[in-house]
Structure 1
Amino acid sequence: MRVAFVSNVVYPFVTGGAEKRIHEIGTRLTNKGHDVTIYGRQFWDGPEETTHEGMTLRAVAPGTELYTGDDGRRSITEALDFAARTVYPLNKYLRQNDHDVVVASVFPHFPVLAAKLATVGTDTPLVTTWHEVWGDYWNDYLGHLAPFGKLTEQITARIPQHPIAVSGITADRLARIGQDRTRIRTIPNGIDFDQIRAIEPAADGFDVLFAGRLIEDKRVDVLLRAFDRVAPADTTLGIVGDGPEREALEQLTTTLNSADQITFLGFLDDYADVLAHMRAADVFASPSTREGFGITYAEAMAAGCTVIGADHPDSAADEVIGDAGFLVEPTVDALTKTLEAALCGDRPSSDPVERAQRYDWDAVADQAETAYQNAIDGSW
């Protein structure tokens, strides 16, 4: 099987959930003898076409800034530019019969539309991986430009494709904007279970940990206030990550009685350092109200943490955590109660480590391999 992934960013040169998924699935496919090519921006040094961990990396555009200003929003012009630059080279190689299937990640949407355009005149199927469906969230993200975002998402959902969603909640939302629910495969994001279990706990670890992008939907402010209500003087909270809300969150922390017990670590370049902090923590708390999947929950469960997520209609936390953690309303009062119980030793009814094994990348890659082959042979 010859697989072409389309992604403007390529892991590990840019780190993020969508590109890491491609990397983990792609490397496992190559280990099985499949041919894998990633079409992306050149964030790596050296020639435009190179080999990395058995995969061919083919640059169709130079590396550039992905975000605009200080608001943490992805650049629309970057996505449009990458999409425009992708069509011709991808179509050229498809016409040479170099690829059996094209796999494109959503978000952003324009490269998906470009990938579909590149398949015109060929019999190559397009598989899409939907990490989220935003719907009304476009109103918060783009303001007066929200109708443009919604229309683009709906057009992307309606083009002929073989759709994969990373969670049931994402699949349901995709069905509401144009896809046949019965045709949507659900294949979760994954973790390297053995790597997480082998990591030594951080010597300077924290009792309670959060890891993620510091944006409003993560509701880190709720966590800070809840921690301040219940944390004994010798209990610590670590905040791993960066984002547009960091300054406001740090300012909030200065007003809390537990300010000296809270540390903002920022973005950690080494993924192993994040895992080491998870291995050291007793509780992982993320009251995020918008999660298309929620990979940090799976990582934290594998690390042995007691995991607390938000019970919210826009979050797949309940799918990931199940009864191997706790789900609370994303309010200070609700989180305070559950956090206090967890710090006092309350544990979920199921083993979080055991549940985390189902998300190992080997299992996810096997599911993806089957789906890609089904798209090729017409048995989707």
Structure 2
Amino acid sequence: MNIVITSHRFYPDIGGIETITEVLANFFVGEGHQVRVVTGSVCNEFDDNFNFSVHRNPSNKDLLHIYSWADIILQNNLEVRRLWPLLLVKKPVVIGLQTWIRSIDSKRSFIHLLKLLSLRLATRTIACSDAVKQDSHPRSLVIGNPYDDKLFRVTSDAVRKKSIVFLGRLVSDKGADMLLNAFSTLKNRDWSLTIIGDGPQRTFLENLSLSYDLEPYVNFKGFLKGDILVEELNQHEIMVIPSRWNEPFGVVALEGMACGCAMLVSDGGGLPDAIGSAGFQFIKGNQNDLNQKLQLLVDDESLRQQLRSNVQHHLLHHTSNFIGGQYLSVLIDACKSFYGFSSI
């Protein structure tokens, strides 16, 4: 098949949608299909060293030509502005919903309603979690997100400390301040906390740590990636994702558990899907519940081991090959349905 993937953001931008697009494109190419990625992200053309072509901000004429070439269009997250060629060239389109179709305050504007309406153009829709499915398009097929299973792993020389780790952007919605509060209430003073990430709240969080007299126990690492990040995660017993926001999924949870961390996450949005039975949950936004659950996980080594025992089976359903295979099956099914023939 000739597959076009539209991805509003892509390399060199860093994020979940960017990663998922690259994982899917590489998988499709590996299965013998031709792939073109259409994106709005700007990059030096000499940096586009991929096994597929990347078209950055194509003109309307070029976009129409690309769609004409395709057997099928996969939108990795809905982009209404790149649906117009389908009015001129009839092609099957699969829309992957990677986030909420509503504003961060949970309201829906006219634009959000237009996006919901445009889902009717899709031959098939995919939601990254059951929560996104129920919120946006109940007829969607749920396919979770993949993680980089070649990078994130338990290393052979891992030495775990009595330490808790937070990984994410330092903004209020991610709840790092709630984790600092919970950490300050621990009865155990032989544990430490590592904050990985950067953002506008970093100074506030550093000052908050000082106000709790936690300076000897809290380490702000800044932004880490690649093997350095994997090595750091392998040094911790517990990862906490205390998001106040309803995360659509939560790939960071997969990365944490793949590196051997026992997971404690808020129960909002798609995070329960992301951890399955391999993690522990607290009530989103409830400080007391977070405090109690963190204390329990710190105290109970057997509980941490129990959670880890469920990780391998859970992660098998989020490898690049498994998720890529599920997406490819949907694309093939959509082509069969649209074109009315059985040989793709």
Residue 263 of structure 2 corresponds to residue 307 of structure 1 = yes
C-alpha deviation, 1:190, in angstroms: 0.7
Q: Distance in 1 between matches of 2:64 and 2:123?
A: 17
Distance 1:374 1:138 in 2: 36
Relative to structure 1, the CA distance from residue 92 to residue 101 in structure 2 (aligned partners, 3 Å threshold; closer, same or farther) is same
* 3-state DSSP of counterpart to 1:196: coil
- Select the residue among 102, 125, 136 that pairs with 2:73: 102
Q: Is 1:88 matched up with 2:61?
A: yes
1:203: how far off? 7.6
In structure 2, do the counterparts of structure 1 residues 229 and 201 end up closer, same or farther at CA, with 3 Å as the change threshold? farther
1:68 maps to what in 2? none
Q: Which residue is equivalent to 2:317? A: 358
**Secondary structure in structure 1 of the residue aligned to 2:45:** coil
Instruction: Determine if contact 1:304/1:353 at 8 Å carries over to the other structure.
Output: no
- TM-score under structure 2 normalisation? 0.87
Secondary structure, counterpart of 2:66 in structure 1: helix
1:169-208 counterparts in 2 under 5 A?
169-175=131-137, 181-182=138-139, 184-197=140-153, 199=155, 207-208=163-164
- Aligned partner of residue 147 in structure 2, secondary structure: coil
Residue 195 of structure 2 corresponds to residue 243 of structure 1 = no
Aligned to 1:82: none
1:166 aligns with 2:128: yes
Q: Distance in 1 between matches of 2:5 and 2:90?
A: 16
From 45, 49, 53, give the equivalent of 1:52: 49
Aligned residues: 333
Q: Deviations over 1:190-211 (max 9, x none)?
A: 1133432264667897711111
Q: Structure 1 stretches of 5 or more lacking a match?
A: 62-84, 141-145, 176-180
Quote the sequence identity (%).
22
**Does the CA contact (< 8 Å) of 1:164 and 1:185 recur in 2?**
yes
* 8 A Cα contact 1:40 1:58, kept in partner: yes
Q: Distance in 1 between matches of 2:106 and 2:310?
A: 39
Matched, 1:35 2:34: yes
CA–CA distance in structure 1, aligned partners of residues 319 and 114 of structure 2: 33
Counterpart residue number, 1:71: none
Question: Counterparts in 2 of 1:129-144, with a 5 A limit?
Answer: 129-135=96-102, 137-138=104-105
What TM-score do the two structures reach when normalised by structure 1? 0.79
3-state secondary structure, aligned to 1:280: coil
Give the 3 Å change call, closer, same or farther, for CA 154–301 of structure 1 in structure 2: same
Q: For the residues of structure 2 that align with 1:51 and 1:376, how far apart are their CA atoms?
A: 29
- Secondary structure at 2:10 match in 1: coil
Maintained 8 Å contact 2:166/2:194: yes
2:254 counterpart SS class: helix
Deviation, 1:259, is 2.5
Post-superposition Cα deviations, 1:282-317, rounded to whole Å, max 9, x if no partner, equal 0000121311111111111221211001123xx212
The question of whether the paired residues in 1 share the 8 Å contact of 2:95 and 2:124 is answered with: yes
1:321 corresponding residue in structure 2: 275
- Contact persistence 1:170–1:292 (CA under 8 A): yes
Aligned residue in 1 for 2:214: 258
Q: Which of the pair has the greater relative contact order for Cα pairs under 8 Å at 6+ separation?
A: 2
Q: Structure 1, residues 327-361: CA drift from partner, whole Å, max 9, x if none? A: 11132221122212222223245522332222111
CA contact (8 A) 2:175 2:243 kept: yes
Q: Can you list the C-alpha shifts for 1:96-153, whole angstroms capped at 9, x where unaligned? A: xx211112232xx5xx11221022221212221111114363468xxxxx63553454
- Partner-residue secondary structure (3-state), 2:94: strand
**Secondary structure in 1 aligned to 2:317?**
helix
Match of 1:77 in 2: none
Once the two structures are TM-superposed, the CA of residue 377 in structure 1 deviates from its matched residue by 1.8
Deviation at 1:9, TM superposition (A): 2.4
Q: After superposition, give the CA deviation of every residue in 1:137-176 in whole Å (9 maximum; x if it has no partner).
A: 3468xxxxx635534543444544521111111011112x
Structure 2 residue ranges without an equivalent (≥5): none
Partner of 1:74: none
Match of 1:213 in 2: 169
Contact 2:95 2:119 in 1 (8 A): no
Amino acid in structure 1 at the alignment position of 2:52:
M
In the alignment, the residues of structure 1 paired with residue 56 and residue 280 of structure 2 have an alpha-carbon distance, to the nearest angstrom, of 43
Is 1:138–1:149's contact at 8 Å kept on the other side of the alignment? Answer: no
Q: Mark the CA change 1:216 to 1:5 in structure 2 (over 3 Å): closer, same or farther.
A: same
**1:44 Cα shift?**
2.9
Distance 2:162 2:64 in 1: 50
